[in-house]
Amino acid sequence: MTGDIDPTPSPEQLRDALADYIRGRGTFTTERVEAAFLTVPRHLFLPGEELQDAYAPKVIKTKYGQDGTAISSASNPNLVAAMLEQLDLQPGQHVLEIGAGTGINAALMAELTGPDGQVVTIDIDDDIVEAARRGLRASGYQQVEVICGDGADGHPAGAPYDRIIVTAGAWDLPPAWWQQLATDGRMVVPLVLHPSGLTRSLALDLQQPDLMTSNSALVCGFVNMRGSTAHDGHTLRLADDVTFSIDRASSSGTDLSRTLTYPAHQEWTGIEIRDEQPVEHLDLWLVTTGSRFGRLSAGPDARDRGIATPALRWAGASFYDDSSIAYLALRPFEDGSRGTGRHELGVIAHGPTCTELAEHLAGLLHTWDKTRPAQPRITAHPAGTAELPPGYVIDRPGTRLTVAW
């Protein structure tokens, strides 16, 4: 009599499957990062999760605040891989991670830096730090130094660092990060570029003591940093299952509470958007036009009832004025011969000035369509820098940024 075959995949099989998924997305660009993913045992860092969940391509939330929002998580493995490719970590290098989380990313970086490298990771909560240490010990990466502290201060005792990577949404680039980055070093940071929460993972190269530049920007979302540089956004509830995130400073005098009670006004542009096209930075381009920008979030119930249907591709990118909102939308082309995966870009607006606002946004979309810039050119300078290169300026307490196309 033959025994039953156990259908449960092993951690090694799940690890291989996860690497296959990331490879299939085209995220791996180096064999070294792929090899690290094929080596690190993720499940040992997530002891409370089902084995298959530990290797699933999804975010796993690991700690919640008193209000029920997540304050720590294991990031989506595909995004982790993309940011490690941005980091370009080499054997023997010294790296600082802001945001230890589960410790998985530190283990991956220990694989990449090798026996002659050094990985330091820091988190603000004792329990998160202890959990990361346990995972690192259990998986054989006890050489990683895990520090409890405010990530905005970095870890000066181990500086300078060839690489700094931030694994939480950062509102600013604090002076400590500038000071602790080695000459010719690189910093990869998910920087919140607009108060609505629009975030990009930037690979910033230190060109001079007072200049970092980035030509690599990835769309991402992260739990926000806590501590001395924490920044909370401003979100309005417009209807059941619908919220609007905006800049508190620019929203003075607005009353958007009844906006969605007005009939929808639609402006369809004839602009074709294909699934495979690199148009992910359209929302950031709209920010740099200087109009009042926000992000409209509509849950499944609101979408089903037709209350609001913003395009998911740009996370509800919208414009607003004192009384109205206009948001980006997509619809399939009516001409079926144009094939699947092709949509028409348009604007849907609500409010007493919806027509004017929709026309304004549609006009900008036509301007964007003429060149469709693929990647922003972003520079960072310490706060107080007077002479900046041309571009849209973002001022933060520790940094001045410019975004150009």
Look up tokens 């549609």; give the residue: 362
Boundary of a domain, candidates 194, 219, 244: 219
User: Does some domain include residue 4?
Assistant: no
Specify the residue for token string 């709209």: 286
What is the percent of the chain with per-residue pLDDT over 70, rounded to a whole number? 97
pLDDT value at position 294?
97
Residue 32 lies in a domain: yes
Q: Is the pLDDT of residue 167 over 90?
A: yes
Same domain, 183 and 263: no
Can you give the pLDDT at residue 235?
A: 92
329-387 pLDDT, tens digit each: 999 987 654 556 899 999 999 999 999 999 999 999 999 999 999 899 999 999 999 99
Judgement on whether residues 187 and 238 belong to the same structural domain of the protein: no
- What confidence score (pLDDT) does residue 4 get? 55
Domain match, 247 and 183 both: no
Shared domain for 280 and 203, answered yes or no, is no
- Would you state the pLDDT for residue 335? 63
Residue 296, pLDDT above cutoff 50: yes
Please give the pLDDT value at position 28.
97
For the segment 11-34, the average pLDDT, to the nearest whole number, is: 97
Q: What is the pLDDT of residue 3?
A: 52
Within a domain: 393: no
Q: Read off the pLDDT band of 177 (50, 70, 90).
A: very high
Q: Strands 94-98 and 118-123: what pairing?
A: parallel
**Which range has the worst mean pLDDT, 168-177, 241-250, 322-331, 390-399?**
241-250
- Domain boundary (164, 189, 219) is at 219
Asked if residue 248 and residue 206 are part of one domain, the reply reads no
75 given a catalytic annotation: yes
- Of 34-38, 194-198, 233-237, the poorest mean pLDDT is in 233-237
Q: How many domains does the chain have?
A: 2
Judge whether 260 and 348 are in contact, CB under 8 Å.
no
Amino acid symbol at 15: R
Region 161-172: mean pLDDT is: 97
Instruction: Give the active site residue among 10, 72, 73, 75.
Output: 75
Confidence band (pLDDT; 50, 70, 90) for 1? very low
Task: Determine the pLDDT at residue 251.
Answer: 76
Region 387-393 average pLDDT: 96
Q: What per-residue confidence (pLDDT) applies to 319?
A: 98
In this structure, the number of other CB atoms found within 10 A of the CB of residue 146 comes to: 24
Pair 212, 117 in one domain:
yes
Lowest-confidence pick of 1-10, 63-72, 280-289, 290-299: 1-10
In a domain, 318, yes or no: yes
The neighbouring-strand residues paired with 267 are 347
Question: Half-sphere exposure of residue 153, counting CA atoms within 13 Å on the CB side?
Answer: 12
pTM attached to this predicted model: 0.92
144-148, 153-157, 226-230, 308-312: range with lowest mean pLDDT: 226-230
Query: Parallel, antiparallel, or unpaired for β 118-123 and 145-148?
Result: parallel
Task: List CB contacts of 300: < 8 A, sequence separation 6 or more.
Answer: 241
The answer to whether the bond into 160 is cis (omega within 30° of 0) is yes
At 122, which CATH number?
Answer: 3.40.50.150
pLDDT at 112: 98
Residue at 399 is within a domain: no
Whether 53 is in a domain gets the answer yes
- Contact partners, residue 385, CB within 8 Å, separation at least 6: 210, 400
Stated as kind and residue range, the H or E segment containing 111 is helix 104-113
pLDDT grade for 53, boundaries at 50, 70 and 90? very high
Q: How far apart are CA 237 and CA 284, in angstroms?
A: 23
Task: Examine the domain organization and report whether 242 and 327 are in the same domain.
Answer: yes
Instruction: Give the integer Cα–Cα distance in Å for 48 and 74.
Output: 12
Over the chain, what is the mean pLDDT?
94
Boundary-marking domain end, from 219, 243, 261:
219
The amino acid occupying position 233 is G
CA distance 98 to 172: 13
**Residue 403 falls inside a structural domain:** no
Is the domain of 256 the same as that of 304? yes
Residues 169-180, mean pLDDT to the nearest whole number: 97
For residue 62, the model assigns a pLDDT of 80
The widest CA-to-CA distance across the chain, in whole angstroms, is 82
Q: Which domain range does residue 133 map to?
A: 11-219
Instruction: Give the torsion through C-alpha atoms of 130, 132, 137, 139, to 10 deg.
Output: 150
In this model, does residue 222 exceed pLDDT 90? no
Identify the band that residue 6 occupies on the pLDDT scale cut at 50, 70 and 90.
low
pLDDT in tens, 224-245: 888 888 887 889 999 999 999 9
102 in the same domain as 152: yes
Give mean pLDDT, residues 60-82. 85
Average confidence (pLDDT) over 28-53: 96
Residues 212 and 243 in one domain: no
Q: DSSP state, 322? A: S
Using the predicted structure, report yes or no on whether residue 136 has a pLDDT greater than 70.
Answer: yes
* Beta strands, E only, 275-398: 293-298, 317-320, 325-332, 342-350, 377-382, 392-395
User: Do 194 and 267 belong to one domain?
Assistant: no
Backbone dihedral region of 362: left (phi > 0), alpha (psi from -120 to 50 degrees) or beta?
alpha
Does residue 201 sit in the same domain as residue 282?
A: no
CA atoms of 147 and 97, how far apart (whole Å)? 10
